[in-house]
Amino acid sequence: MTTTVIGAGYAGVMAANRLAASGEGVTVVTPAPWFVERIRLHAVAGGTRPTARVALSELLHPDVTLVTDTVARIGDVLELASGATLTYDTAIYAVGSGGRRGAATGGDDDWDATGEHGVGPDAPDGTGGDEAERDTTGGPGAGTSGAAADAGRPGTGTTVHSVSDEASALALRASLAHRPEAPVTVVGAGLTGVELAGTLRASGRRVRLVTASEPVRRGPRAQLASLVRAGVDVEVRRWSAGGESASTDHAERSRGGARPGPVVDRVGAATPPTDRGDAPAPTARTARSGEDRVEPADPDAIVVDATGFAYPTLAADSGLPTDALGRLLVDASLTVPGRPRILGAGDAVRIDAPGYGHLRPACATALPMGAHAADVILARAQGRPVPVFGLGYVLQCVDLGDGRGHIQLVHSDDTERQLAVTGRAGGMVKEAVCRMTLRWLTQEGRRPGSYRWAAPPRSRSGAA
C-alpha cells in the first residue's frame, strides 16, 4: 500500500518518515526539494538568519519518493499542475498555511509555494512558482523584484508585508535592506508579530507594534512589557467617545488610561466591541483579504500584517468538506468523513469533533497530527482498531530578539501555569526547542514511533 503525502512541512515530513521507516510505501508531493522552518521566518525577514531552508534529502527517509510538483485537485487520483496524475491508496492532506492574498511576496503571485506546501490556489504556482525558483542562495534580498523591495512604501501598489511564508519573509527582508532607515509598523501582537518586532528592534530598527486589544494572559502581557523595555512602541488602537481614532501606549494602559469602546481590527478601521465588552480579535477576512490595507501612522513606515494566515483552496476545489476559513474537516481519527482514503494533518486541517477547541496552529500541533495520521494508516494495515487523536501542550516558546525569549509553561489544555522562563535562559530554551524539531523529524525516519507527545486534557482513548 502506498501513501501520498501532500505537503512537506512539519506534519507532512513527520507522517512520511513514520510510515516509510515502518516499511510502508510513501510518496511526498511538494513544489520544491526543501523544507522551510516556519518558526525561523521572522529571523530570516529580520536578517539575523540567512535562510530557513533545509534540504528534504537531509530530512526524509531514503525510501520516500519525492515528487516536486503541486496538487491541483484530489479525486480518485491526484491531478498535478504539471498535467501528470498520481494514483494513491491513501493520501494525507498536510498543505499547511501560507501568506494571505495581498501581502508582498516578491513576485506576481501571492501564495507561498516554497517547500512547506504541496499546493497553491492557482495553476501558475504548480511547478514551484516564481517564488520557488528564487533565492536559491538564501542571501539577503536575492531573487526579489524591485516592486517587492519597494513594497510597504505608500503609493507603490502593494503596501503590506507578511512573514507567514518564505517568499513573504524574503520580500520583507529585501524591503528592509532597501530602506535601512525606515521605521516598521507591525500589526498584530500574536506570536508572529511579537517575534518579528523583537528581532527587528534588536537589529536597531525603529518598531511600532499595534494590537487591537489588551492581552489577558500573563505570558503575552509579559512579552509586550519586554518589548517595551527593549524600545518597541506598543499601542492599542481605539476610538474615543467622539468617534475619532485614538491610541494609548503600553505605559498609559498599564495606568488604566485606555478608555473602553470600539477598537480597530486593522489600523484605520473600527470594529464595535463584543457583547462582553472585550476587544474582538482580528477577523479572518481582515487577515486574508487583499483589499484590506494596513495604514501606518508614519507614512514612511514599512508595514507588516501579522494578524493571521490563509489556507489553500485545494480541499474546497476538490469537493472535500471545509470550514469557513477553507480548512479541511476531519473526524477524531483525522480522517475525512465519508472519504476514508484521505486523512488530514497540520494547520490547514480542523478536527470537527467536541473537545479539540484548545488546539492552536503551531509545529507543536502539526508534528503530533502528522505522526497520528501515520499511526491510523498503520493500524488499518495491521487490522488494529483506529486510534483517536489526542494532544496536550507543555509550553509555548517566544523569541524576543537579541538572544532573549519567553517560555511559558502551560497545562495540557494550553492554559497558563504560574512558571515561565525568561531573558537569556528563555532564549536558550527557545533555540533548543527549534533545533529539536528537526531532530524529531530525522529520528522518526530512523526509529519509527520514537516521537511522542503529551496526553490530552481529558482521555480520548479508544477506536474511532
Provide the percentage of residues in the chain whose pLDDT is more than 90.
68
Q: Check if the beta carbon of residue 6 is closer than 8 Å to that of residue 118.
A: yes
pLDDT in tens, 14-59: 999 999 999 999 999 999 999 999 999 999 999 999 999 999 999 9
Backbone angles phi, psi at 442, to 5 degrees: -70, -35
Residue found by looking up cell 496526553 in the block: 455
pLDDT in tens, 343-393: 999 999 999 999 999 999 999 999 999 999 999 999 999 999 999 999 999
Between 6 and 275, whose confidence is greater? 6
Backbone angles phi, psi at 2, to 5 degrees: -115, 135
pLDDT in tens, 193-246: 999 999 999 999 999 999 988 888 999 999 999 999 999 999 987 433 333 344
Give first-to-last CA distance, the chain, whole Å. 21
The H-or-E segment that residue 195 falls in is: helix 191-202
Q: At what angle do helices 10-20 and 423-446 cross, to 10 degrees?
A: 40
Residue type, 163: V
Q: What integer pLDDT is reported at residue 67 of this predicted model?
A: 98
Q: What's the CATH number for 138-305?
A: 3.50.50.60
Q: Check if the beta carbon of residue 172 is closer than 8 Å to that of residue 192.
A: no
pLDDT in tens, 56-94: 999 999 999 999 999 999 999 999 999 999 999 999 999
- Taking 70 as the threshold, does the pLDDT of residue 455 lie above it? yes
- Taking 90 as the threshold, does the pLDDT of residue 255 lie above it? no
- Taking 60 as the threshold, does the pLDDT of residue 330 lie above it? yes
Q: Specify burial of residue 292 (Cβ count, 10 A radius: 0-12, 13-18, 19+).
A: buried
Residue found by looking up cell 486574508 in the block: 288
Q: Which residues contact 195 (CB under 8 A, 6 or more apart)?
A: 42, 398, 399, 400, 401
Reading phi first (left if > 0) and then psi (alpha if -120 to 50, else beta), residue 399 is in beta
Q: At what angle do helices 363-381 and 423-446 cross, to 10 degrees?
A: 20
Q: SS3 of 392, please?
A: strand
For 108, the grid coordinates are 506576481
Rounded to whole angstroms, the Cα distance separating 193 from 205 reads 15
